[in-house]
Amino acid sequence: MTTNHLSEKEIQQFALDKFSCRKEIAEHIDLCESCRTQAATYQLLFGEIKEQQKPDFDFDVSALVLQQLARTKTVPLWYRLTLYLLSLAVIAAFGGLIYINRVYISYFFQKYIVGAASGIPVAVIGLISAPIITILIFQCLEMYRRYQRKMEVLNFY
């Protein structure tokens, strides 16, 4: 007989469905009186829980919860697209100003932004920053879409 007993989780797994548990667990329960007694106790407990009647409420719980949830105002698609295109235009215009008019940028931008990249050609900076900005935009859009789907699910129920 084995001296190491099974854990509570393993015994409960055997009690719930002895055919889906590992072979070693079933063999141990066949040989160990203590674990077999615990498994029988759990089987009796789980059987009694299944036989209990589910409580009936005289009110609709889902209706009470839904009343308390705030309704979200949906934004039309054309408005969102306009906002995204406007943001992209502002980013492109700002990048164009830095690229074309390096001389006319204020002292702050000249010193800190352009000065930090003075040894790097402007085309390389553009090639590096364009994909980064594009990825950030798409990540923000995806995050917003996931948020909208979650809100739609909440509003549905």
- The per-residue pLDDT for range 6-43, each reduced to its tens digit, is 888 888 888 888 787 888 888 888 888 888 899 899 88
Place of tokens 């949906």: 74
CA distances 10 to 3, 7, 25, 47, 61, Å, are 16, 5, 7, 18, 36
pLDDT computed for residue 10 by the predictor: 87
Residue-wise over 137-153: b if at least 16 C-beta within 10 A, else e? Answer: eeeeeeeeeeeeeeeee
Q: pLDDT tens digits, residue range 59-111?
A: 777 777 777 776 667 778 888 888 889 989 988 888 777 776 655 556 666 66
If DSSP codes are grouped into helix, strand and coil, which group holds residue 109?
helix
| Gap between the Cα atoms of 20 and 144, Å rounded | 41
pLDDT computed for residue 103 by the predictor: 55
Residue 57, φ and ψ in degrees, nearest 5: -95, 145
What tokens were used for 59?
Answer: 């009110």
Choose between 53 and 97: higher pLDDT: 53
pLDDT computed for residue 107 by the predictor: 63
Give residue 142's pLDDT band: very low, low, confident or very high (50, 70, 90). Answer: very high
Residue 126 contacts by C-beta under 8 Å, 6 or more apart in sequence? 95, 99
| Gap between the Cα atoms of 6 and 111, Å rounded | 69
pLDDT computed for residue 74 by the predictor: 75
Is the pTM value of this prediction over 0.85? no
pLDDT computed for residue 139 by the predictor: 93
From 120, 128, 121, 133, select the one nearest 94 (Cα to Cα). Answer: 133
pLDDT at 143 over 90: yes
* DSSP H helices in the chain: 8-16, 23-31, 33-51, 61-68, 77-100, 107-109, 122-156
